């Protein structure tokens, strides 16, 4: 292990051979230096060691960054300032022991024993405000828990009852683009399982790929396309812990059929059928919004909406044996015309969430109120 000395306002970074997102720039830099140095007798990975005599060459950017690090000058590619997340937030995963520790801490600090878990998406945190007798924990106070870094995600865990059902609600979730390992992003799902949660309800804001969808529509997710998974980015990658679930879980029934039908029935009773849809959700890594070519491709693949969350949580929840139900609020239309002047932006996402919040909250709360009535179906 090598350590990088940084300026006083910088959190020290431990450089290991682990390929976590937070260390990608460092690893890329180290490869660059190794390729210049050659074998062990030459310049080492961080320029420390015996150097062979060579003719003077112009300094490359990578070698100058290394010299900065050696002289306690903040290297621009690998520093994390004190007002941002610490390195431990990035390198910790979601082992059984960590999840057990987190669950035990929560159980010792609340009398609520939730059977329903809810995850609020961008601009949809109002669902948590409907919980009665709330007991609130900031993510930063919970052992092993990540922290939300995105506007519109409050970063609080709310325990209480919703329509008489004991619930735990995540007021803000975590995303790949925040730099966390994928196992860290999905740690809450495993913690919820250890708390006794049986049913997970997720919401998100998504871009509409289906040309029949309008901004403000709500899509029941019936299936997903995991684009990061095609590149091996899957929360179940690595050694399997049988205490969570089986090595190869089935995903053809990831989104519970009976819960989807229940949502359709509730929407019909509430008069929401005119804006309720059902379709396929595609997840991308983000944080950049999709290009026109990407939107066209995803639409042809069969995706009706696209976003940056939910799928990883569903995979882990299903691995742990929990039922899953998910809704996407269509917050913007995906741009698929090169002549269009439309541009996706996060402010539009939050504004759409505010406009549709009341109906979405009523839909979810009514579904929750009827979960017990439908227990015989599962």
The residues pairing with 278 across neighbouring beta strands, listed in sequence order, are 220
Beta-sheet pairing, 156-162 with 165-171 = antiparallel
Distance, CA of 126 to CA of 357 (rounded, Å)? 7
Catalytic residue among 346, 351, 357, 374: 346
Reply yes or no on whether 309 is catalytic.
yes
The SS3 assignment for 6 reads coil
Give the single-character DSSP code of 310. S
Reply yes or no on whether 255 is catalytic.
no
- 282, 299 Cβ separation under 8 angstroms: no
Reply yes or no on whether 227 is catalytic.
no
* Structure tokens, 353: 């969430």
Strand extents, DSSP E, the chain: 2-4, 13-15, 116-119, 132-138, 156-162, 165-171, 199-208, 218-226, 276-283, 305-307, 323-333
Catalytic residue among 22, 130, 202, 205: 205
Catalytic residue among 92, 122, 144, 299: 122
Distance, CA of 71 to CA of 69 (rounded, Å)? 5
Reply yes or no on whether 237 is catalytic.
no
Reply yes or no on whether 308 is catalytic.
yes
Catalytic residue among 63, 226, 309, 331: 309
Distance, CA of 114 to CA of 106 (rounded, Å)? 11
Catalytic residue among 177, 251, 264, 344: 177
Catalytic residue among 68, 103, 178, 336: 178
Give the single-character DSSP code of 142. S
Catalytic residue among 22, 170, 175, 180: 175
Distance, CA of 5 to CA of 173 (rounded, Å)? 32
Reply yes or no on whether 251 is catalytic.
no
Sign of the torsion formed by the C-alpha atoms of 161, 114, 235 and 301? negative
Catalytic residue among 63, 148, 226, 332: 332
Reply yes or no on whether 224 is catalytic.
no
Reply yes or no on whether 205 is catalytic.
yes
Distance, CA of 229 to CA of 300 (rounded, Å)? 19
The residues pairing with 277 across neighbouring beta strands, listed in sequence order, are 219
Alpha-carbon Rg of the chain, whole angstroms? Answer: 23
Residue 38 sits at the vertex; the CA angle it makes with 32 and 41, to the nearest 5 degrees, is 125
Reply yes or no on whether 177 is catalytic.
yes
- 258, 220 Cβ separation under 8 angstroms: no
Beta-sheet pairing, 323-333 with 218-226 = antiparallel
Catalytic residue among 308, 317, 320, 334: 308
Residues labelled catalytic: 122, 153, 175, 177-178, 205, 308-309, 332, 346
């Amino acid at each position: 292990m090598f350590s990088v000395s940084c300026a006083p306002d910088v959190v020290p970074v431990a450089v290991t051979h682990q390929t976590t997102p937070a260390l990608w720039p460092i690893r890329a830099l180290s490869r660059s230096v190794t390729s210049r140095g050659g074998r062990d007798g030459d310049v080492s990975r961080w320029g420390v060691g015996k150097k062979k005599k060579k003719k003077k060459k112009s300094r490359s950017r990578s070698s100058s960054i290394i010299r900065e690090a050696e002289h306690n000058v903040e290297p621009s590619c690998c520093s994390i300032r004190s007002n941002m997340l610490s390195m431990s937030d990035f390198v910790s995963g979601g082992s059984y022991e960590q999840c057990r520790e987190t669950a035990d801490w929560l159980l010792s600090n609340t009398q609520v024993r939730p059977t329903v878990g809810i995850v609020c998406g961008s601009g949809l945190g109002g669902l948590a405000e409907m919980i009665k007798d709330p007991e609130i924990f900031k993510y930063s106070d919970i052992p092993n828990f990540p922290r939300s870094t995105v506007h519109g995600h409050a970063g609080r865990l709310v325990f209480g009852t919703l329509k008489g059902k004991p619930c735990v609600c995540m007021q803000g979730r975590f995303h790949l683009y925040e730099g966390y390992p994928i196992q860290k992003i999905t740690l809450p799902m495993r913690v919820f399982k250890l708390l006794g949660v049986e049913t997970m309800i997720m919401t998100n804001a998504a871009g509409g790929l289906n040309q029949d969808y309008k901004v403000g529509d709500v899509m029941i997710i019936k299936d997903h396309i995991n684009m990061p998974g095609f590149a091996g980015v899957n929360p179940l990658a690595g050694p399997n812990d049988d205490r969570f679930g089986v090595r190869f879980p089935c995903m053809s029934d990831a989104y519970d059929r009976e819960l989807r039908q229940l949502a359709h029935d509730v929407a019909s009773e509430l008069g929401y059928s005119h804006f309720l849809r059902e379709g396929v959700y595609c997840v991308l890594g983000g944080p950049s919004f999709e290009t026109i070519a990407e939107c066209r491709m995803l639409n042809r693949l069969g995706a009706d909406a696209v976003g940056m969350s939910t799928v990883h949580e569903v995979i882990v929840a299903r691995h742990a044996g929990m039922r899953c139900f998910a809704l996407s609020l269509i917050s913007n239309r995906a741009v698929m015309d090169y002549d269009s002047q439309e541009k996706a932006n996060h402010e539009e996402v939050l504004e759409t969430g505010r406009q549709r919040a009341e109906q979405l909250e009523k839909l979810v709360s009514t579904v929750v109120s009827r979960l017990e009535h439908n227990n015989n179906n599962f």
